[in-house]
Structure 1
């Protein structure tokens, strides 16, 4: 029983962060602007710290990406967004690995061993796919990966690669929102439509694979 205090602490921390978010309300672009406006030259740093916090709880991080573009423009906004993504991914992973991995490894089981082996081999691309198609909420994937045997470098690289396309799109929308007929804005919206469509297709295929009584694939040849 002594080893269970760590996962209980992890769940408590996430629940506490979620409760604070519910009490203070969901972030808005105007709210983020008001929070960072008085920070002066340190505004990007303060914004990045706020963004990191939102990556650790079930918050609409897309709002922060758009806010980054509104506040800082495309280059600085994208830099702050990707920095927050990398730092938030790292913190979520380390918390989960430190507080929960030992219990999961102790449970054992053939399925967990197969999953660990698969993630050791191709963890980078598995994480990149999970981040690219937002079927799984950002913090959920961070904590779930920390419970597995995936290598930290593969996890971080996959997170950055997977988030980059949507981050570019959201920051661009924020930066060029005042000119919705501009080429960057239209391209960003089109990219998001493609990503959303791909996520819907991926989610539908996943549900079909997990439905009870689903027919096995028919061999070809």
Structure 2
């Protein structure tokens, strides 16, 4: 066996270790933020409110960074609705969502892209690049419609797979718009969940969840079919 052939398993092993370390770091961040709750969201909201007219911009930037460290998006969106109301709050939430997607995608691209592609191999990497060129944007949009899918972890993964940052930003904006309204509206209606706005938000959430579940099933099925066809010798 040649030296080049010997180095392939070793290279893949190193790529796997690097990806494992990156995944362990993300899981650790999730534990600290979601379980231990080292970040006090109420304190963050109070500090942002004290900035006066600049509060929407400050909150959008702060929420983008908090989202990147895996603070749940619905909590941040609800805080936006509580501070700024359903209209302004929705745009603040969308700004934070797009910012968070870009940050996560950039970090994922820098930390995991080379390793992820080393594990996939040349043939699968070429097919992945072709899929991204045709459907990368809509993959991001579709993920944002899937109920319960963690946006930050998905954005890290998209970045590691090589999806361009502009597709992440545009996909996050398009796909997150319905949920941004839902959680922001619920946050602004927190004192009266029987208000028409709260009912409208819940209705939108149900519609988005149904569409997202159907699109995810269809997308995975089509992806597997195309991947299987590509593996069949001509």
Indicate which of 189, 195, 198 corresponds to 2:202: 189
Residue 146 of structure 1 and its aligned partner are, at CA, apart by 0.8
Deviates more, 1:14-23 or 1:89-98: 14-23
Tell me: CA distance 1:161–1:205, structure 2 relative to 1, closer, same or farther (3 Å): closer
Distance 1:115 1:12 in 2: 25
Tell me: CA distance 1:6–1:91, structure 2 relative to 1, closer, same or farther (3 Å): farther
Is 1:32–1:67's contact at 8 Å kept on the other side of the alignment?
A: no
Tell me: CA distance 1:114–1:135, structure 2 relative to 1, closer, same or farther (3 Å): farther
Residue 6 of structure 1 and its aligned partner are, at CA, apart by 6.6
> Paired residues, what number?
209
CA RMSD of aligned residues (A): 3.3
Indicate which of 126, 151, 154 corresponds to 1:138: 151
The one-character-per-residue Cα deviations of 1:48-106 (angstroms, maximum 9, x if unpaired) are: 23311332233321011111111111232122211111111111111111222122233
The one-character-per-residue Cα deviations of 1:101-132 (angstroms, maximum 9, x if unpaired) are: 12223342433432221111111111101112
Distance 2:60 2:113 in 1: 28
Question: What TM-score, normalized by structure 1, do the two folds share?
Answer: 0.76
Tell me: CA distance 1:80–1:6, structure 2 relative to 1, closer, same or farther (3 Å): farther
Q: Which residue matches 1:152?
A: 165
Question: What TM-score, normalized by structure 2, do the two folds share?
Answer: 0.72
The one-character-per-residue Cα deviations of 1:6-45 (angstroms, maximum 9, x if unpaired) are: 75774465355335424435755x4543343433334334
Is 2:183–2:201's contact at 8 Å kept on the other side of the alignment?
A: yes
Residue 181 of structure 1 and its aligned partner are, at CA, apart by 4.1
Distance 2:90 2:23 in 1: 31
Residue 169 of structure 1 and its aligned partner are, at CA, apart by 1.4
Q: Which residue matches 2:63?
A: 51
Structure 1 unpaired stretches of 5+: 210-221
Trace 1:25-44 onto structure 2 (pairs within 5 A). Answer: 25=38, 30-44=42-56
By percentage of residues, which structure has more helix?
A: 2
